[in-house]
Amino acid sequence: MLIAKNLSKSFKEVNALNNISLAVQEGELYGLLGPNGAGKTTTISILSSLLKPDSGEILYQGKSLYQNLTKSKKMIGVVPQEIALYEDLTALENLKFWGTLYGIKGKELQSKTEELLDFLGLSDRKNHKIKTYSGGMKRRINIAAALLHDPKIVFMDEPTVGIDPQSRNLIFEVIQELHSRGLTMIYTTHYMEEAERLCDRIGIIDEGKIIAEGSLEELKKSSKINEEIHVRFTNVQKTDLSNINNHFNGQLLIHENQMVLSTSLANTDLPILIQMCTKANLHLENLQVKSLSLESIFLELTGKSLRD
């Protein structure tokens, strides 16, 4: 669907993008994860034709973005980070305005706006001015404005910034529904939970470079960090643990009545560990599996936190 090759962009002395390449398949939800200032918005701005790259190539369905810019723009939908709507107009007026810019008219425009407002659960508020909407409702209309012209690919630039958890969940549901309908999306965020929950593949971006890319499982596999199984017992001091220690060959750390197993195969090792503990007459008090998170992968790759 989208292939971007060797994109670079500088603003005066600031190197915003440094030779970025990415490919997004049709129907895929691709996440671009990185801290503030990593280059996510610049990447989206370039891919959506808002900015021209200093170098590199962008292909949509095999054709250059700039070969027929007007046609390319009609394939693209953008949900900007800001609430890019006219506060003094109603939701319906806003949607009709943005739809008209894409050449949608008359009954088609009317049915399209009604359909989207219904899909987003805002039909009953369609004639209210945007300034009377809550943050979450504004975000939903912000998404709707990018969908009116049935784009082939939608860029979502941190669409959940500044809203409450309930509204965020509503937006996740909207995105998941769009994904299930086969819409291709690129989603930028600095929240790892969002990327983990929503995205098929994730590109980790930092200082204008994509430093890792793949599905969550692929990223976990490629990481040198292990998941951890924390177990607490009531009687560990009185038991011989040599069998268990030997089996896990140095991966096990025992301290007083606690043991921590560091493993890259938590799903496989967990039942074995429980079975061995039972055989050794250990009474489990508490068990916790600490999965490998994107946060820790990001920390491993960049040496800094996502929220730095």
Partner 1 sequence: MFTIAFKGIRQYFKDRTAVLLSLLLPIVLITLFALMYGGIGKKEKSHPISLLFTDQDNTELSKEVFNTLNDKDGMQLFPKSYEEASDLIKKGKNTAVLVLYKGFQDSVEAGNKAPMELFYDEAKEIEMGLLQQALWSNLFGITMKKGIKGKVNTWIKEKNPDLADAELLDIQAQVEEQFTDFDNSDDSKELEEKSNLPMTAIVSEEKNGNLGLVQAIAGTAIMMLLFSVSGSGASLLKEKEDGTFRRLLVSPISPSSILYGKMLSTLFMAVLQLTVMFLYSWLALGLDIFINLPALLLMILSAAIACTSFGIFMATICKSRKQVESLSTLIILVISALGGSMMPLVFMPEIMHKLAVVSVNYWAIEGFFDVFWRQLPLSEIYPKMLVLLGIGIVLTSISVISFKRNLLKLV
Kindly list the residues in this chain that would bind partner 1 in the complex (CB under 8 A): 45, 48-51, 69-70, 73-74, 76, 78, 80-87, 98, 101-103, 145
CA distances from residue 117 to 39, 122, 242 in whole angstroms, order as listed: 32, 5, 64
* CB closer to partner 1 out of 13 and 82: 82
User: In the bound complex, what is the minimum distance in angstroms from residue 45's beta carbon to partner 1?
Assistant: 7
Stated as kind and residue range, the H or E segment containing 283 is none
226: DSSP letter = P
% helix, strand, coil for the chain, step of 5? 40, 30, 30
* CB closer to partner 1 out of 51 and 59: 51
Q: List the one residue out of 21, 103, 23 whose CA is nearest residue 61.
A: 23
Neighbour count for residue 76 (Cβ, 10 Å): 20
User: In the bound complex, what is the minimum distance in angstroms from residue 144's beta carbon to partner 1?
Assistant: 12
In the chain, what is the straight-line distance between the N-terminal and C-terminal CA atoms, in Å? 33
* CB closer to partner 1 out of 104 and 277: 104
* CB closer to partner 1 out of 103 and 135: 103
Q: Taking a C-beta distance cutoff of 8 angstroms, is the pair 246, 209 a contact?
A: no
User: In the bound complex, what is the minimum distance in angstroms from residue 46's beta carbon to partner 1?
Assistant: 11
User: In the bound complex, what is the minimum distance in angstroms from residue 198's beta carbon to partner 1?
Assistant: 22
User: In the bound complex, what is the minimum distance in angstroms from residue 206's beta carbon to partner 1?
Assistant: 23
Q: Taking a C-beta distance cutoff of 8 angstroms, is the pair 30, 47 a contact?
A: no
* CB closer to partner 1 out of 63 and 247: 63
* CB closer to partner 1 out of 145 and 292: 145
User: In the bound complex, what is the minimum distance in angstroms from residue 107's beta carbon to partner 1?
Assistant: 21
